[in-house]
Structures are given as C-alpha cells and as structure tokens.
Amino acid sequence: MENVISKVYKGSIAEELGIEPKDKLISINGKKVKDIIDYRFMMCDEYIVVEIEKPYGEIWELEIEKEYDEKLGIEFENGILDKAKSCTNNCIFCFIDQLPKGMRKTLYFKDDDSRLSFLQGNFVTLTNMSDDDINRIIDYKISPINISVQTTNPELRIKMLHNRFAGNLIPRMKKLAEAGIEMNCQIVLCPGINNGDELIKTVNDLYKFYPAVRNVAGVPVGVTDYREGLFNMNTFDAEKARIEIKNVKKLQEKFMKEIGSPFIRLSDEFYVLSGEEIPNTDFYGSFDQFEDGIGMIRTFRDNIEENIEFLLDDIESSYTMITGVLAYDEIKNAADMIMKKNKNVKINVIRVINEFFGEKITVAGLLTGRDIIKYAKKSELGKYIILPENMLKDDEKIFLDDTSVKDMERELNRKIIICRSTGEDLIKLINESGREE
C-alpha cells in the first residue's frame, strides 16, 4: 500500500527537509515500511536515512540526525499504512451484528487489529493473530495492548466468540506477560453466560498476570432491537446488577489489601441500574478505564463540584442539556446545582429514549441526531442547546445517523454548544455564552 503523506507539521524535521503532502514514504534505512508499527519502530534510531518519492516521480534520499524520541512530523492518508485486519469471530454479543441497515459503511466494519489497539485503544481478542504477530508485539515492545477477554474458560470462550482458536487466550497472554508487555482487559458481561462464578474465575485467572495485566473492566452487553436471527441474549436488570456488584466487591476488597487497587471495576451502568452509590474518586485510580464507561459519572460529578464556584454571578441566559436515559439524573443534578448558584441561569434537561437502536440502549454516546431532534421539538428549549462531544463522530460534527450539528441547529433554530463529556468545560462554556447576551 502506498504510504502517502497527508500532513506535515510546521517546524518539524519533515518541513525543514522539504517533505510535503502527497509525497510517499518509500523506506527507512533501506527497509520497506509495512505499516505504522514498522514506521514507529524504525523512527526510534538517532540516525536514519529516509527515502521519499515526490508526486512527479523524483526520489529523494534524506539523511537525518535527531534525538531518540524526536518525530519526523508527518501524518499519513491511511493511519496504519495498511488495510485493517477484520474480525473472524462471530461473537454472540457483537454490537455491529445488531446495527440496522442503511448506516454508513464504516460502522459495519469489524476490526480486530493489534495496531489499532496500540494506536487508538481498540480492543482485540488475539484470535485473529498469528504467532508472528504476537512475536512482533514482543519484538517491538508494543505496550500496552487492550484485550477483549470475555472469559478465561477455553470452552466457553470458543462458544462465545464462535472461533475454534479462541481457547488459546491464556498461553498467549502468558507469553506477552513474560515479555513485559502490559495489558488492559475488558469483559463484556452477558447474564447467565460469563458473569457470576464465571466472572470470578476469569478475574482471578487474570490477576495471576498482575502487574502485566494492569486492570480489568466489566461492561454490560448492549442489546438493540435488531437481533433477529441472533443469539437470544438476556440483559441486566436492577437485581442482576446488584448481585454483580456484590460479587465483584469481594474480589475488590481482596485486591485492595494486596495491591492497593480494586483491579476489576464495573462500568457506571451497573451502579445506575442497581441504584447503588457511585464509588469515590480514589476507587478509580488514574481513570485508565474511562473509555469503557468506568468512572465517567464520578469524573463529571467531581468536575461540576470543583468548577461551580467559577460560575459568573452577572450572566443571564437559558439552556437545554440533552442526554440519554443512563446519565439523566446526574445531568439533572448538575443543572440544579448551576441554577442554585445563579438563579438567572435557566436549564432544562431532556432525557432522550433511544428509539433508533431500542430502549435498552441507554448511553448518550449512541443517540442519533433524529431521536434528539424529535425529543427536542416536543420540549421548551433554551436559547442554547448543550450536547456532550461523545455523541459525535471523532473530529467531525456528525451523529451516528449522519445528521450534522448544522442540520440540528437549523431544524431546532438554536445554537448548539458542544461540551466535553467529562463536564470540565461546562461552567466555562456557560460563562462564555452568558456574556454574549
């Protein structure tokens, strides 16, 4: 695949040498660059020879002396410089299998690529990797790697992933651990299948690899309305969630005594569903599992409490905050705190039920633009609408159904403010917009 450069950073080595967008990276130190892992590894040398092909066919050979960790300062049209490896599993819990027809093609691609784990934090099952792939991770010291575990029971894992190679997880993790590769683990919990006693066994098995296995995240299976012909999957209710929290708490107490960390943490959804109190800030450590929905509510709550004092007293405006079912109470509490601090700031909170995927999907990040517009049109709106950034595609103001923020602003005749899902900039954004009044 052609390694076409898409961007050259100002002040970088690449810019100084005359490298430009549309140039192609041919080789480093005489070796072809297979993918982004090769590129990152080869760039570690302090002296390198880079071969560049210009769009008009001229070849440049550039000798570069640099610091060990100094970057060339370029980006590529294809982020991994290769075709992403698609998943060969047929997992009984796969969310992509539950997507309705007619969405953009990229949403239907199932990746299981260790390079995306390293670069973007994606989780991989290790089932689609050869021994050479495992050795390459070790040789290049690619760490940490995020592993989608589900269970350490070989027979059960084969059934859950519908892959005859899925049972070799522990030997592969052992090899990685012995080589000093750090791992973050995720377990998609399916009631009656890999939770309860199976989860306890899995966590204890993974704990044997500590500290190579740094932590374990337990997240509930997501079930949409589009499961026709798929495995008959149960979901968590309040009672099941309480039992799971109780079972895991015993393990957490044991691990806290031994390593000062709970090691296994459950996503916020378990606590909201069960009515149990969200754990305190210290419980989440460095919030390494934030992207798994673990500690999001605690982070949001802490940020509002820490920043509420900076809310200006002399501003006056009205807002509508929109969220899903899961975070509604937390967002409503934050809105009440803000209005109590400044009675001239009015905020109403809209809870949007996910009609696109189904009511069992409760997180704000899976709401579509059309559902948001539908519920907003039935409500009295403030001058500004506040939405969390996790509703939108990365770096683009587009929702899952390709509705754009501009489309929404036009239909609702309101200006939309995008805030961080952590809530750290919410007070600042309210202050800024309030000054515009």
pLDDT at 187: 97
C-alpha to C-alpha distance for 322 and 332, rounded to whole angstroms: 10
Q: Provide the strand spans (E) within 154-242.
A: 183-189, 213-220
| pLDDT per residue of the chain (437 residues) written in tens, 0 to 9 | 578 888 999 999 999 999 999 999 888 898 888 777 778 778 878 899 989 999 998 999 999 998 877 888 888 877 544 455 567 788 999 888 888 887 776 665 555 544 444 445 577 888 888 888 888 888 878 888 889 999 999 999 999 999 999 999 999 999 999 999 999 999 999 999 999 999 999 999 999 999 999 999 999 999 999 998 999 999 999 999 999 999 999 999 999 999 999 999 999 999 999 999 999 999 999 999 998 899 999 999 999 999 999 999 999 999 999 999 999 999 999 999 999 999 999 999 999 999 999 999 999 999 999 999 999 999 999 999 999 999 998 667 899 999 999 999 999 999 999 999 999 999 999 999 988 76
- The DSSP secondary structure of 76-128, one letter per residue, reads ESSTTSSPPPBP----TT-SGGGPPTTS-GGGG--B--HHHHHHH---B-STT
Contact 302, 281 (CB under 8 A): yes
Q: Burial of 352 by CB count in 10 Å (0-12 exposed, 13-18 middle, 19+ buried)?
A: buried
C-alpha to C-alpha distance for 119 and 243, rounded to whole angstroms: 36
- Give the bridge partners for 351, in sequence order: 323
- Nearest Cα to Cα of residue 291 among 386, 363, 226: 363
pLDDT at 137: 84
Q: Which domains does the chain have, with CATH numbers?
A: 5-76 (2.30.42.10), 96-293 (3.80.30.10), 300-435 (3.40.50)
User: 213-220 and 264-266 as β-strands: parallel, antiparallel, unpaired?
Assistant: parallel
Q: Dihedral sign, CA of 393, 398, 403, 409?
A: positive
Contact 73, 12 (CB under 8 A): yes
Q: Dihedral sign, CA of 378, 380, 383, 386?
A: negative
- Nearest Cα to Cα of residue 66 among 21, 32, 26, 17: 17
pLDDT at 111: 57
Residues 6+ apart with CB under 8 A from 150: 91, 93, 157, 160, 161, 187, 188, 194, 202
Whether the bond between 211 and the residue before it is cis, its omega within 30 degrees of 0, is: yes
In this structure, the dihedral spanned by the alpha carbons of residues 191, 195, 196 and 198, taken in order and rounded to 10 degrees, is 140
pLDDT at 117: 44
Residues 6+ apart with CB under 8 A from 100: 224, 226, 356, 357
Give the count of alpha carbons within 13 A of 358, CB side only. 12
pTM of the model: 0.84
**What would the two tokens of residue 222 be?**
């997501």
> Helical H runs in 308-345?
328-341
